[in-house]
Amino acid sequence: MTDVPTIAGWLALACERWAAARDELTELDAAAGDGDLGVTVAAGATGVAAALAGLPADVTLPDLVRCAGAAFARGNPSSFAALTGAGLLAAAKYLDTADSDCREAVAGALDAAADRIAERGRAAVGERTVLDALVPSVTALRSAPPGRAAALTAMVAAARVGVAATSEMPAVRGRAAWVGERSAGIPDAGATAYLRLLEALASVAQA
C-alpha cells in the first residue's frame, strides 16, 4: 500500500492539473447551466492543493480526504462544491472504519461519496450529473486487473463512456434542468469535471 504522504502528493499535483480544465468546464456549463463550474473546479482544486501541502507528515488517509473535502467546498459556495465536499466527507467517514489497505476500501469510499451526493443532490444515475461518470468508474475499479495503473486506466475508460452518455440524457437536476433541451448533445459539465480529475490522477500516479 502506498503511504499517505505519497497519495497527498499525487492528489495535490493532480489538482493543479485539474484546475487547467477551467475554461473547458466553463464553456460546457455555460451551454446548459449558469457557467460557474469552471470557476468552482479551479478554485476548489487550487484550494485542495494548498490545503494538502499544509498537512502534517503523519496524517491519516481519512483526515487527508476530510481536509480535501472541506477545502474544495471552501473554494466557492456553489452547489457542485458543496456536493463534492459532502461526498468527500462521507468517503472520509467510511475510511475511518475501513481497512484502507485494499482496493475495496477505495471503492467503498467512492460508493459512500456517490451515495451522499445522490441523497443531498436528490439525484440518481441517468439524470445527467457527476454520478453518471462516478458510479461506472467505481464498478470498473472493482473489476479491473490488479495494479494501480490498470485500475486507473479502467476507471478513466468507464468515466469517459459515462460522460459521453450524458450528452443524450435530459437534465432533471440542478440549473441544467431549467434550460431543458438546450443541453441536448452536450456532455454534462459535472461528469466531465470528474473525468478530468481522474485523468489528471492517472497521469501523475500511474508511473
Partner 1 sequence: MLVRAGGASAGEVGIATGGGSGHLPLFLGYVGPGLATSVAVGNVFSAQSSDAALAAIRAADAGRGVLVLIGNYTGDRLNFELARDLADAEGRDTRLVLFADDVLSAPPERSADRRGVAGVVFAYKCAGAAAAAGASLDEVAAVAERVAARTRTAGVGLSPTVLPTTGRPTFQLADDEMEIGIGIHGEPGVRRGTLQSADAVADTLLDAVTAELDLAPGARVALLVNGLGATSAEELYVLTGRLHSRLDRSGVVVHRTLVGEFATSMEMAGASVSVLHLDDELGTLLDAPCQSPFLPGSLR
Considering the rule CB under 8 A, would residue 60 count as an interface residue with partner 1? no
Phi and psi at 33, nearest 5°, equal: -125, -140
Given a contact cutoff of 8 angstroms between Cβ atoms, the answer to whether 14 and 200 are in contact is yes
Would you give the binding string for partner 1 spanning residues 142-181, x where CB under 8 A is met?
Answer: --------------------------------x-------
Q: 153 with 110: CB under 8 angstroms? A: no
Q: Hey, which residues between 103 and 132 contact partner 1 (CB under 8 A)?
A: 120-121
Of 47-55, 85-93, 100-108, 198-206: span binding partner 1 (CB under 8 A) = 85-93
Site for partner 1 contains 46 (CB under 8 A): no
Any residues with CB less than 8 A from the CB of 164 and at least 6 apart, and which?
187
**Where is 104: in which H helix or E strand?**
helix 103-121
Q: Is 74 one of the binding residues for partner 1 (CB under 8 A)?
A: yes
Task: Decide: is 15 part of the binding site for partner 1 (CB under 8 A).
Answer: no
How many residues sit close enough to partner 1 to count as binding (CB under 8 A)? 18
**Shortest separation between residue 101's beta carbon and partner 1, angstroms:** 24
77 belongs to the binding site for partner 1 (CB under 8 A): yes
CA distance 70 to 51: 9
* Three-class SS state of 144: coil
Q: Which three cell numbers stand for residue 20?
A: 487547467
**Cell numbers at 167, concatenated:** 450528452
The site for partner 1 (CB under 8 A) is made up of 66, 70, 73-74, 76-79, 81-83, 85-86, 89-90, 120-121, 174
